[in-house]
């Protein structure tokens, strides 16, 4: 069994995911000390006050110095600059991991800046809420949820095993995947649904005023679920779409063809085509319930 405990953890990014992981690590006795850092002084102060980190640094390199484990938990677009900043401060044998929803882009951004002997083990906990910020985190967030590791070929096996052990210790089920494949799976299960929810809720904001107020009032019919998704962190999602452009555009293209076909069926009154499509989608729900993911 690999050791899930890390003596000194550096946490860069103190939002929903980062603060939840810090809370879970502390609750599980999985960490000696957590040194945290974040972009704004307000977030750093709030994190210290909430107590899920032991110490704060204003500078990522200072926070990462002497750390056994460095967790990148800022929006994925910040990773290249963060890796460049911390690279020279990392000690040999340190493990760098992350929590980003896109994996190939993270490897491309981070790996070139890491010195020899430092191990990169990218990870994606498939968990979250529409809340964001250090107050939004909670230690139970990862329980029963998947965490997908995407170590590049040749990654140190012990480092991978330790990150796996850590995620299992906070309650997650761990899987391993090729990074580009991960990005394609997540493009359809997560990124495209978010993009569509953001779109339709945005479309509603362009409606004339009275209509818009009624949309709020009668949101229960389906729209409400979309508004919950579309309340997710704007900067985090901006970065995800930019970092997973190819997979998102590919899946968006498929979606768009299908939507056009259904639009055409509505326009020309093709009831059988609609009913057939709506019947097939029911089966997917049943599969998800069967897989225990509902």
Q: Which of the ranges 9-17, 55-63, 151-159, 186-194 carries the binding residues for a copy of itself, by CB under 8 A?
A: 186-194
77 binds a copy of itself, rule: CB under 8 A:
yes
Which one, of 16, 4, 24, lies nearest residue 140 by Cα?
A: 24
Q: How far is the CB of 208 from a copy of itself (least distance, A)?
A: 10
218 part of the interface to a copy of itself, by CB under 8 A: yes
Q: Which is nearer to a copy of itself, 165 or 262 (CB)?
A: 262
Task: Determine phi and psi for 33, rounding to 5 degrees.
Answer: -140, 140
- For a copy of itself, the binding residues in 90-129 under the rule CB under 8 A are 101, 126-128
Question: What is the footprint of a copy of itself within residues 234-253 (CB under 8 A)?
Answer: 234-235, 237-239, 241-242, 245, 248-249, 251-252
Two tokens, residue 179: 């990074």
- Answer positive or negative: Cα dihedral of 2, 75, 23, 71: positive
- Interface mask (CB under 8 A) for a copy of itself, residues 35-74, using x and -? ----------------------------------------
Query: Could you tell me which of 71, 109, 113, 114 has the C-alpha nearest to residue 92?
Result: 114
Q: Which of 16, 30, 96, 186 binds a copy of itself (CB under 8 A)?
A: 186
- CA–CA distance, 11 with 134 (Å, rounded to integer): 12
Q: Give, as ranges, the residues between 141 and 160 that touch a copy of itself (CB under 8 A).
A: 145-146, 148
Residue 150 DSSP class? -
Q: Per DSSP, which regions of the chain are E strands?
A: 6-12, 31-37, 55-56, 69-72, 95-98, 119-121, 123-125, 146-149, 173-176
Using CB under 8 A as the binding rule, whether residue 29 contacts a copy of itself is answered as no
Q: Report, in Å, the least distance between residue 45 CB and a copy of itself.
A: 24
Determine if 88 is a binding residue for a copy of itself (CB under 8 A): no
- Determine the Cα–Cα distance for residues 138 and 33; give it in Å rounded to an integer: 18
Does residue number 190 form part of the binding site for a copy of itself (CB under 8 A)? Answer: yes
The alpha carbon torsion through 220, 226, 232, 236 (nearest 10 deg) reads 180
Shortest approach of a copy of itself to residue 55 CB, angstroms? 31
Cβ-based nearer residue to a copy of itself, 19 or 244 = 244
């Amino acid at each position: 069994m690999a050791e899930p405990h890390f003596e000194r953890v550096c946490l860069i990014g103190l939002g929903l995911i980062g603060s939840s992981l810090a809370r879970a690590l502390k609750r599980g006795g999985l960490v000696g000390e957590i040194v945290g850092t974040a972009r704004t002084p307000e977030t750093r102060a709030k994190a210290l006050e909430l107590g899920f980190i032991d110490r704060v640094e204003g500078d990522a390199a200072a926070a990462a110095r002497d750390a056994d484990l460095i967790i990148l938990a800022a929006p994925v677009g910040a990773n290249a600059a963060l890796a460049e900043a911390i690279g020279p401060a990392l000690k040999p044998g340190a493990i760098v991991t992350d929590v980003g929803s896109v994996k190939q882009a993270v490897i491309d951004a981070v790996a070139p800046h890491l010195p020899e002997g430092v191990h990169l083990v990218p990870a994606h906990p498939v968990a979250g809420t529409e809340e964001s910020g250090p107050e939004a985190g909670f230690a139970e967030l990862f329980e029963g949820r998947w965490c997908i590791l995407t170590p590049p070929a040749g990654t140190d096996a012990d480092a991978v095993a330790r990150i796996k052990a850590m995620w299992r210790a906070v309650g997650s089920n761990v899987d391993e995947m090729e990074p580009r494949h991960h990005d394609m799976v997540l493009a359809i299960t997560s990124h495209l649904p978010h993009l569509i929810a953001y779109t339709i809720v945005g479309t509603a904001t362009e409606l004339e005023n009275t209509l818009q107020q009624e949309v709020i009032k009668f949101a229960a019919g389906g729209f409400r679920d979309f508004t919950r998704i579309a309340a997710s962190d704007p900067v985090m999602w901006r970065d995800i779409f930019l970092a997973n452009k190819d997979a998102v555009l590919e899946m968006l293209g498929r979606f768009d063809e299908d939507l056009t076909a259904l639009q055409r069926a509505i326009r020309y009154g093709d009831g059988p085509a609609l009913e057939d499509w709506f019947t097939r989608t029911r089966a997917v729900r049943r599969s998800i319930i069967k897989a225990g993911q509902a």
